Amino acid sequence: MSGALKEVRNRIKSVQSTQQITKAMKMVSAAKLRRAQDAITQMRPYAKKLQEMLSNIVSNSDGDVSMALAAQRPVEKVMIIVVTSDRGLCGGYNSNLIKLAKQIIKDKYSAQYAKGNVSILPIGKKGYENFTKTGYNVISNYWDILGGLTFEKVQAAAKHAMDAFANKEVDAVELVYSEFKNAATQRFVAEQFLPVQKVEKTEGQKNADFIFEPGKDVLIAELMPKILNTQLFKATLDGNASEHGARMTAMDKASDNANELLKSLKISYNRARQAAITTELTEIVSGAAALQG
């Protein structure tokens, strides 16, 4: 019975050690989440307004302005930007994003994929590893930009996508990321990055009235890439905050599970200990009876 006691004791120590790690990881993620949440909260209204402005400009430019990034053409080649994380232990965060990207390919671009015309631009190590292992055409220049995340690093990835679209190397660019809601909730979304979408006007809606200074051509050529850079940066910040929220929630659940397991193990340990004591007492009593006999 001593062997069983030792085994249970070792398991209890192992679970306690793991629980210390999960609690520490939860605290680290909580601290990082506060900073990431502040960053996306401040960024979101600015990015939303810029996106609205861009869509309105595109919608109200009735073919009088050359806008290479808003050109609609038959979709033969597709690029999908997938924002995941560099590290795991964050529940289903990465697997859900990868699953969504693959579902989009299956539902919308199966014909293009069959011809080898779907490329993946992963941002984050987990996405890069998965799509590389599963045989996708992966653009491997930007997967590591989350380490020391800056606007300039994201801008380089956005420029790659914009250049590919403008040069007709791809005909559409989709963006897959996790939109941060709160620590416990993320919304996995896919949205069109390129071509720039027009705003659908409702009946009786007036055109947005913009005064362009300098000229419309010059301003749009300068403004459109900057707004798209901001859009991708916002998606990356959303993903960064979502990752920390998902990890904090996952580590909290892991700590709770460790508590439940410890309760069960301690009950098993006490039962084994009581059985060992009973056995020893029985042996002592039997030995005493034998001596008396």
Q: Are 82 and 190 in contact (CB under 8 A)?
A: no
Residue ranges of alpha helices (H) inside 151-215 are 151-166
* Measured CA distances, 174 to 34, 183, 191, 226, 262 (Å): 29, 26, 6, 18, 46
Q: Is 197 helix (H, G, I), strand (E, B) or coil?
A: coil
Q: Quote the CA–CA distance of 10 and 3 in Å, as a whole number.
A: 11
Q: Are 100 and 61 in contact (CB under 8 A)?
A: no
Per-residue pLDDT tens, the chain, 293 aa: give them.
Answer: 567 788 888 999 999 999 999 999 999 999 999 999 999 999 999 888 888 877 777 776 655 445 788 888 999 999 999 999 999 999 999 999 999 999 999 999 999 999 999 999 999 999 999 999 999 999 999 999 998 899 999 999 999 999 999 999 999 999 999 999 988 899 999 999 999 877 665 555 555 566 767 767 777 778 889 999 999 999 999 999 999 999 999 999 999 999 999 999 999 888 888 888 888 888 888 877 777 75
pLDDT of residue 64: 46
pLDDT tens digits along 207-222: 556 676 776 777 777 8
Q: Are 198 and 71 in contact (CB under 8 A)?
A: no
pLDDT of residue 38: 93
Q: Is 177 helix (H, G, I), strand (E, B) or coil?
A: strand
Cα 65 from chain centre: 37
Residue ranges of alpha helices (H) inside 203-215 are none
pLDDT of residue 253: 94
pLDDT of residue 239: 96
Domains and CATH numbers, the chain: 21-199+206-251 (3.40.1380.10)
Count Cβ atoms below 10 Å from residue 16 Cβ, excluding itself.
13
pLDDT of residue 244: 95
pLDDT of residue 65: 47
Q: Quote the CA–CA distance of 32 and 248 in Å, as a whole number.
A: 10
Q: Quote the CA–CA distance of 175 and 235 in Å, as a whole number.
A: 8
Q: Specify the DSSP class assigned to residue 215.
A: -
What's the whole-model pTM score? Answer: 0.84
Helix (H) or strand (E) holding 192: strand 185-194
Structure tokens at 173: 């660019």
Give the sign of the dihedral formed by CA 90, CA 96, CA 102, CA 105. Answer: negative
pLDDT of residue 49: 87
> Which residue among 15, 57, 90, 158 is the active-site one?
90
pLDDT of residue 63: 52
pLDDT of residue 202: 52
Q: Is 121 helix (H, G, I), strand (E, B) or coil?
A: strand
pLDDT of residue 291: 77
Identify which of 104, 60, 86, 92 has the alpha carbon closest to the alpha carbon of residue 193. 104
List Cβ neighbours of 279 (8 Å cut-off, separation of 6 or more). Answer: 1
Q: Quote the CA–CA distance of 264 and 79 in Å, as a whole number.
A: 50
Catalytic residue list contains 219 = no
Structure tokens at 6: 């030792």
